[in-house]
């Protein structure tokens, strides 16, 4: 399997310490422990008044407010158990109180509170007790987790300004071909716009990879050799688009071999995207040669390059997302896997299914804008029935 062959050649990138503000999307390479009880004190969960539940049990429904307990202030003490203290969300629970009545359940006249008929009281109501979420010495986050907003907030609550994370992979998207013209530049009838590299960069940046650049190299062996040597010295991953087939000007495999890239495989039993290349540079760089047709480029990127980047980032194997087919699908070739663009339909029960949305060919990139991704169908000559569970890959 191509994905297995790729990952057997990869080594997780080394860790580095980064400021907390720059860690989102990275893979944590340390355990994070609470620096103290979390919450560090009995905490008020709603704006309202703090009372003694015993007073409510005795029938008290009118209370005089003694003072206000603000968030960020030391705990005050209720002097008279028949009174109340006004409290704010996030504040320390005042001493001598054990119940928070939310402001929606009482009327306030000056400093006198009158409870409404629906008001209730019980010990610890609307109070989060100290250490309820975590305690010192217990890991709140484990090594290997992807850092999203909740994880970054958790690390901040532990008092950490920096985290040890996997270094972001340095990636370059390289398009080859004399026929390619940059957007915004004059174009002749026999030329086409350079779009694949833009799709590659966009897809990777959309997934949180920030160290992504691109280059365009003409169909010239000397230029290709010089530029690929430089990119190998600067990048962890090279993603080439075009130049990997059998044509006279498909120079990429030849040049890669010349500069010391060891071929792991060339061609995959799939359509579209059969003429795909993967190799490893002298220092372990991952080198992908993707077919030049836009549909094939994007499919191979999502199917192989994205999982490789996850692995390099310390995330292990990419999770498989199963998706049932919404209709019957006839493929017709028993020797190749088939990548079928689909839209995702959600029924009234919230269950998704894949609706086939085939393109007019490997160059019909416009059709992809009306899809959500593609499913991978295994080699099979018989039609796939509706409900068949396929692997789904989102763009």
Per-residue confidence (pLDDT) for residue 331, from 0 to 100: 84
pLDDT digits (tens, 9 = 90+) for 363-373: 788 899 999 99
CA distance linking residue 346 with residue 49, whole number of Å: 46
pLDDT class for 161, splitting at 50, 70, 90? Answer: very high
Q: What span, in angstroms and rounded, lies between the C-alpha atoms of 342 and 352? A: 12
How far apart CA 28 and CA 35 sit, in angstroms, is: 18
Q: Which of the residue ranges 64-73, 128-137, 277-286 would you say has the lowest mean pLDDT?
A: 128-137
Confidence of residue 245 (pLDDT cuts 50, 70, 90): low
Tell me what pLDDT residue 365 has.
82
Q: For 96-122, how does the pLDDT look when each residue is reduced to its tens digit (9 = 90+)? A: 999 999 999 999 999 999 999 999 999
Label residue 226 by pLDDT band (50, 70, 90): very high
Contacts of residue 53, defined as CB under 8 A and 6 or more positions apart, other chains included, come to 98, 99, 121, 122, 123, 125
Residue 260: which of 219, 232, 218 has the closest Cα?
232
pLDDT value at residue 90: 96
Mean pLDDT over residues 68-80, rounded? 97
Integer angstrom CA distances of residue 106 from 59, 86, 111, 117, 124: 15, 12, 12, 9, 18
User: Which tens digit of pLDDT belongs to each residue from 193-207?
Assistant: 888 899 999 999 999
pLDDT exceeds 70 at position 300: yes
Question: How far apart are alpha carbons 62 and 125 in whole angstroms?
Answer: 18
Q: Pairing between strand 212-217 and 171-176?
A: parallel
- Measure the CA–CA gap between 221 and 258, rounded to whole angstroms: 11
* Residue 54 pLDDT > 80: yes
Rounded to whole angstroms, the Cα distance separating 237 from 267 reads 19
| Domains of the chain from N-terminus onward | 2-9+168-312 (3.40.980.10), 27-38+132-166 (3.90.105), 43-128 (2.170.190.11), 321-394 (2.40.340.10)
Q: Residue 246: what pLDDT?
A: 60
Q: Give 235's pLDDT tier (boundaries 50, 70, 90).
A: very high
Q: How confident is the model at residue 252 (pLDDT cuts 50, 70, 90)?
A: confident
Q: Which residue has the higher pLDDT, 252 or 203?
A: 203
Most confident of the ranges 34-38, 234-238, 328-332, 348-352:
234-238
Give the phi and the psi of residue 24 in degrees, each rounded to 5. Answer: -60, 135
Beta bridge mates, 51: 99
- pLDDT band (50, 70, 90) for residue 248: low
The fraction of the chain above a pLDDT of 70, given in percent, is 98
């Amino acid at each position: 399997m191509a994905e297995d062959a790729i990952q057997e050649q990869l080594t997780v990138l080394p860790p580095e310490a980064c400021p907390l503000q720059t860690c989102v999307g990275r893979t944590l390479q340390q355990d994070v422990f609470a620096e103290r009880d979390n919450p560090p004190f009995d905490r008020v969960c709603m704006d309202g008044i703090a009372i003694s539940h015993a007073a409510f049990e005795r029938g008290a429904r009118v209370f005089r407010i003694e003072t206000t307990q603000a968030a960020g202030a030391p705990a005050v003490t209720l002097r008279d158990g028949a009174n109340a203290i006004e409290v704010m969300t996030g504040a320390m629970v005042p001493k001598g109180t054990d119940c928070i009545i939310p402001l929606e359940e009482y009327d306030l006249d000056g400093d006198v509170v009158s409870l409404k008929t629906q008001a209730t009281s019980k010990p610890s109501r609307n109070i989060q007790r100290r250490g309820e979420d975590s305690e010192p010495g217990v890991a709140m986050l484990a090594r290997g987790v992807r850092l999203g907003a909740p994880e970054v907030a958790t690390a901040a609550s532990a008092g950490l300004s920096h985290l040890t994370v996997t270094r972001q992979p340095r990636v370059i998207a390289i398009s080859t071909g004399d026929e390619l013209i940059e957007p915004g530049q004059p174009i002749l009838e026999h030329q086409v716009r350079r779009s694949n590299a833009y799709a590659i960069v966009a897809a990777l940046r959309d997934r949180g990879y920030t160290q992504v650049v691109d280059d365009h190299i003409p169909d010239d062996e000397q230029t290709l050799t010089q530029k690929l040597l430089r990119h190998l010295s600067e990048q962890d991953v090279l993603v080439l688009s075009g130049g990997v087939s059998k044509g006279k000007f498909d120079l990429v495999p030849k040049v890669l071999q010349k500069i010391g890239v060891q071929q792991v495989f060339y061609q995959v039993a799939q359509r579209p995207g059969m003429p795909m290349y993967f190799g490893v540079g002298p220092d372990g760089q991952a080198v992908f040669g993707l077919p030049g047709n836009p549909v094939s480029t994007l499919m191979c990127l999502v199917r192989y390059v994205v999982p490789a980047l996850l692995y390099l980032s310390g995330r292990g194997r990419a999770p498989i997302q199963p998706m049932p087919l919404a209709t019957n699908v006839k493929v017709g070739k028993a020797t190749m896997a088939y990548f079928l663009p689909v839209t995702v339909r959600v029924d009234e029960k919230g269950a998704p299914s894949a609706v086939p949305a085939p393109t007019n060919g490997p160059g019909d990139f416009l059709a992809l804008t009306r899809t959500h991704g593609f499913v991978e169908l295994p080699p099979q000559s018989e039609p796939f029935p509706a409900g068949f569970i396929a692997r789904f890959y989102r763009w």
